[in-house]
Amino acid sequence: MVSTFSPSHRSIAARLRRFGLVLLVGSLTLLAACSQDEAASAAAIDSGESAGTDAVLTGTGWTCVPCVQRADCGTSWCVQFAADTYCAVDCTNSPCADGLTCKLLITESGESVKACVPAVEVCSATGDPADASGPNTCPYDPPGTASCCTSCGASGTCDPNGCFNGWFCNRSACKCVAAPPAGACAGADGFSAPDIADQDEGPADIQMLDIAPGALGPAGGEVPELYFAIVGDTRPALIEDTAAYPSAIAKKIWQGVQGAAPPFTVTTGDYMFATAWGSQAAPQLDLYLAAAAQYTGLRLPALGNHECTGSTTSNCGSNGKDGLTKNYTAYLTKMLEPLGFDHPWYAFHVHAPDNSWTAKFVFVAANAWDTEQATWLDSEMAVPTTYTFVVRHEPVAANTAPGVKPSEAIIKKYPVTLRLVGHTHTYAYKPDTREVVVGNGGAPLSGNVNYGYVLVKRRPDGAIEFHAIDYSTGNDFTPSFAIKADGSPTP
């Protein structure tokens, strides 16, 4: 193929010049027509996309209008600010209102922009940065209160506020949002406070154990029903880019999970993107844990390749070729030690109160694979249970991870209900390999769905039903699917 500007194109250029006048007249006419069309189209786009709310300047100069995406903010940006995302007016070419400063910020989609925000990074759920608004100003309508949201449309189970799954309706934008921060609207008329612990947003891995419901602990226990969530792959796109950690997305995802209130949640790996021997693993895990602290249930993590060196082929641990990287040790220290585990592989068993069913979750660490884990996996898989879920970061097809092929050789000897995996930054159910991919937890998306999480529930008929939830709406991405205990699909 020849370059656009190569000498061989000179004859074409001469011809073009010969017809230059005609072309110029023609193009000017066409461009004029296009301009009109563009203006009309822009107007159409505006009418379709500007339903959102601009950042509101009030008497105090600023109202924290929450947003999930740009469309929520009209002509303003949706920026990451005060550990969440809010609408903010652009200030590239114009000064900010009194009391606001023009800052270089990152939008919800990762773009650099200059926008007007308060100098102090404080926003309350009431919309007033200084807070102290009374209960009557709470902009969130709880699920049981009629409101202006329409996210659930005509399908699915619709809460009276127009949202799904216990989400709240933000009246100021008529958008469904995850539960507001703890205590934000306490006392509001008709407000039923969501079950969010009033806790510090800092790393809360150890606190999590303190508040685990009932007898359920890291080793498992009795649960009234088999009901859990899956979240996977939460990390920045670029290595070492802690400043671009997807905290806002992760926080909303975990708020959504909290709103659905499963007693435990499985995470499928990749919580960081840091150089193996650098300094950013721990700070990124802190950001992850801060976001995950929105959820007060039990979190059960699987190890991803980014908790080793980042490469899919990496293998950590004392017997792995990559050894004890800082990513690996930070993961063990911050995410597994609070659970009482000293290996990145472990099992979690739950059962019905009457023992009518049992389930095990077998966590395989394919990037810390060794013979010890292989022996353990074989013995763990041999334990008979009604349901068996294998939790591993890499799907079957990511077979360059050192533990995928050898673990599959063991897993295939035993009954499996479903593999719960991540690695690919999307959501997908793959019945042929009996796996569900949940990798849309904030890492750069590679598939065709938005960020979100999955809710899993055992039905009265014994089938397991999976719902993939879009974090921005609380709606299902796709129709749910169900499987029997043996993994076969069922209506």
Residues between 365 and 404 with contacts to other proteins, criterion CB under 8 A? 394-395, 397-400
With beta carbons less than 8 A apart as the criterion, state whether 455 and 470 touch.
Answer: no
Could you tell me which residues come within 8 angstroms of residue 356 by beta carbon, excluding any fewer than 6 positions away? none
- Residue 175, classed as helix, strand or coil, is strand
> Rounded distance, CA 77 to CA 19, Å?
45
Minimum CB separation of residue 110 from other proteins in Å reads 4
**Contacts to other proteins from residues 243-282, by CB under 8 A:** 243-244, 275, 278
Residue 175 binds other proteins (CB under 8 A): no
Of 211 and 243, which has the nearer Cβ to other proteins?
A: 243
CA distances from 468 to 26, 119, 451 (A): 52, 38, 10
> Rounded distance, CA 482 to CA 491, Å?
6
Residue 3 binds other proteins (CB under 8 A): yes
Minimum CB separation of residue 118 from other proteins in Å reads 21
Of 285 and 428, which has the nearer Cβ to other proteins?
A: 428
Work out whether strand 435-438 and strand 358-364 pair parallel, antiparallel, or are unpaired.
unpaired
Minimum CB separation of residue 247 from other proteins in Å reads 15
Stretch that binds other proteins, among 26-34, 150-158, 167-175, 344-352 (CB under 8 A): 26-34
* DSSP H helical ranges for 219-280: 247-260
Minimum CB separation of residue 195 from other proteins in Å reads 31
**Contacts to other proteins from residues 83-122, by CB under 8 A:** 90, 92-93, 106-107, 109-114
Residue 216 binds other proteins (CB under 8 A): no
Residue 237 binds other proteins (CB under 8 A): yes
Owner of token pair 């023009």: 102
Residue 57 binds other proteins (CB under 8 A): no
Of 43 and 206, which has the nearer Cβ to other proteins?
A: 43
Minimum CB separation of residue 71 from other proteins in Å reads 8
CA terminus-to-terminus distance, the chain: 52
**What are the backbone dihedrals phi and psi of residue 222, each rounded to the nearest 5 degrees, phi first?**
-90, 135
Stretch that binds other proteins, among 160-168, 309-317, 323-331, 375-383 (CB under 8 A): 309-317
- Residue 86, classed as helix, strand or coil, is strand
> Rounded distance, CA 348 to CA 355, Å?
16
Task: Work out which of 69, 133, 150, 478 binds other proteins, going by CB under 8 A.
Answer: 69
